[in-house]
Structure formats: structure tokens, C-alpha cells
Amino acid sequence: MSSAEAQSVLRVLVVDDSVIYRKIISDILNSIENVELVGTASNGRDALVLSRTKKPDLMTLDVEMPVMDGLETLHQLRALPEPPKVIMISGKTTRGARITIEALQSGAIDFVTKPEGRDSLDSRAQIEAPLRQLIARLRGGPSRGDSVAAAGVSRPGSGTLSPGPEIICAGISTGGPKALEVLLTGMRGPLPLPFVIVQHMPALFTKALAESLSRKSGLRVLEAEQGQLLEAGTVYIAPGGMQMRLRSGDRAGQVLVELRDDPPENHCKPSADYLFRSVARLYGGRVLALIMTGMGNDGTTGLRLLKRQNATVFAQDEKSSVIWGMPGEAVKAATVDRIYPLQELAAAIEAHLSSTLRSGGPLR
């Protein structure tokens, strides 16, 4: 093996208290080219020992384990000189969802849920696709966008930014829980507009995310409900496993949440494109849209519709994104007006709203 080939191998440690899941995940990893399984552990304490000796690039980490659980293990990993990236393996329970959200906000890059398969073969089939996809993206797959614009700089030909937005909308995926925490805690005052978000997650996890963000940011953050009236100052997160769009209410100016069990779009349910279409239909160009860290291209088509009506679009930059798939694809499609590092995005939003809502004109 050449040195270049050796460097391309992804070294992975599997940590799970279940013998069955250690085998399932290990078998999946052993079937992926240029992935090397360097060891397994049944609890976090053993995982820390192996991390020091085996020096894995990536760890799959079970949430609930004896001796030392996944969350404590994740915190302890920070003390290592070169900690591995971590994918959480979570059960589909309310407790598991809460702990997983905390893990994602503490540095885990993403998570995969343990399936409820009929047998080990069925369970492997359900977990293999998302795990393979995550590993492919982490190894620098083709979904990363090209770096074609500097942070905070307008793209040539992007047009005039929209006057007086009446809503903020966002699409976000891998790395989103931590990014949303940074964004919302960075807001210095109450939001003058409603803020609707699609974060790619399954059911249970979006409710736990909304509760965590509400507690940490001091903003009113909710998992959206059917028929809910949009109100200024409130953040609405689309429920996992449902498609969310907006519709007009019975009274003039009312906008309501509509949840539907429609098929996935871009393999996503909820989908940013699905939400953005309804935002474009109801608000036209009176929108500030955000496209943030995440794999794939969900959101790009919806942003095209918004830009045709002169909406304003901000993107998270590549350096601060866990994966620059969604914002990168939007930039390549020329749907983005300005690109900002995550730490500057809240201030950029507030400056834009302050300028446009005060003057009724475009951002200067």
C-alpha cells in the first residue's frame, strides 16, 4: 500500500454495550472500502483506553451504556490530543433523543438510530444505508461544494437584497444542532419575525432539539404543530418524519403551519425544499432564507424559487460547517447573496433586519 493509500484509510472504533450491534456495525464497516475497524468496546471507559492506543479517526458511540455512557465518553474524549470524530448510535426513545441532542451540541457530528428490525439482518439493512452515507461524506465525498465565495462577501450578479423581510426560514442538517445553538444563543434580542426551520431529524429528536434550544437561547423555540399560527419572536422546527409547509389562515395576514405525511424529497422528511416552496408562495421576496451545514443538496431548488422573487439568502461558510454540502450546492447554483462564518451569522441577520425593517430598503 502506498503512503497516499494508507493516509486515505479511515480508522474506526465501534463502542456499544450490545454484542449484536457491535457485530452489525463492525460487519458494515468491514464491508466498506478503505475503512479499517481498529477495535470494539462495550462501554465508554474501555473506549477511552482504546482511543489512546488505537488512535481511531472515527468512533461510533452508543448513547446508553453501563460503566460510562456515551455522553460522558464524549466529554472525556475532549481531553485527548487528537480526539476522533464521533457518530452517536441512539435508541428511538425520548430519553435517547434528549441525550443524543446534548451529544450533538457537545461535539458529535451526527447520529444514526438503532432500528427496530425483525432480526439482525433486517436491523443491518436499516442501519447500513445511513452509516455508509455518513462515512462517505466524512471521507470527502462529492457533496462538498466548491469554495467560490469569501465569507461575508456578496456574490457578483446576486441582485438586490430583499426589502423588509416578514419571515426567516432555514434549512440545515449534519452539524445542525450545535450550529443552531450557536446561532440562536447569538441573538441579542427578541426576534421581530417568525423563524421556521427544517432540521433533518427523525421523530422524537426534533422535539428534544426544540426544548434544548429554547432552554439555552432564551427564545421561544417550538416543535411545530398542525394548524399553529405563526407569531413574531417564535422559532418553529419542523417535526421529524413529517413534511411542513405554510398556508394562509382564515383571517387576513394569518399564516398557519400545515404538517403532511407526504413522501420524502431529496431523501429528506422533513425537507427544506418542501418548506421553502410554501414560503416563496406566501411571502414572495419578503424573506430572509438561511442555508446551513449539512450533507446533500436539499434546499437548493427552493432557494431558486425564492431568489426569482428577490428574497435574500445567507449561507454558512465552508470552514465552520461540519459538511458543506447543502450550503455548497446552493452557492454553486448562484442562489446565495452572502456567506458568513457561523459565529458571525446571528449578527449578520440582526444587521440585515435592523437595516431593512428600519428603512424598508435593501441591506447596505
pLDDT digits (tens, 9 = 90+) for 47-57: 999 999 999 99
Judge contact between 249 and 229, C-beta under 8 A. Answer: yes
Which residue in the block uniquely carries the three cell numbers 481531553? 79
Over 90: is that where the pLDDT of 160 sits?
no
**Nearest alpha-carbon partner for 217 in 197, 234, 200:** 234
C-alpha cell at 93: 426513545
- How does the average pLDDT of the chain come out, rounded? 89
Which residue in the block uniquely carries the three cell numbers 437584497? 161
- State the catalytic residues: 173, 200, 298
pLDDT at 202: 92
Over 70: is that where the pLDDT of 86 sits?
yes
Per-residue confidence band for 162, with pLDDT thresholds at 50, 70 and 90? low
Give the distance, in angstroms, between the CA of residue 190 and the centroid of all CA atoms in the same chain: 23
Please give the domain boundaries of the chain with CATH numbers for all domains. 3-138 (3.40.50.2300), 167-359 (3.40.50.180)
Task: Give the end-to-end CA distance of the chain in Å, rounded to a whole number.
Answer: 55
3-state secondary structure of 71: helix
3-state secondary structure of 19: helix
26 by Cβ neighbours in 10 Å (0-12 / 13-18 / 19+) ranks as: middle
pLDDT mean over 4-16: 80
Over 80: is that where the pLDDT of 144 sits?
no
Over 70: is that where the pLDDT of 359 sits?
no
Judge contact between 295 and 137, C-beta under 8 A. Answer: yes
pLDDT at 254: 94
State residue 280 phi and psi, 5-degree precision.
-65, -40
- Determine the Cα–Cα distance for residues 224 and 280; give it in Å rounded to an integer: 19
pLDDT mean over 198-202: 96
Q: What is the DSSP letter of 353?
A: H
pLDDT at 163: 60
Strands 35-41 and 10-15: parallel
What does the CA dihedral 47, 50, 54, 58 come to, rounded to 10 degrees? 0
- Determine the Cα–Cα distance for residues 327 and 194; give it in Å rounded to an integer: 22
pLDDT at 154: 45
Over 60: is that where the pLDDT of 236 sits?
yes
Strands 255-260 and 243-248: antiparallel
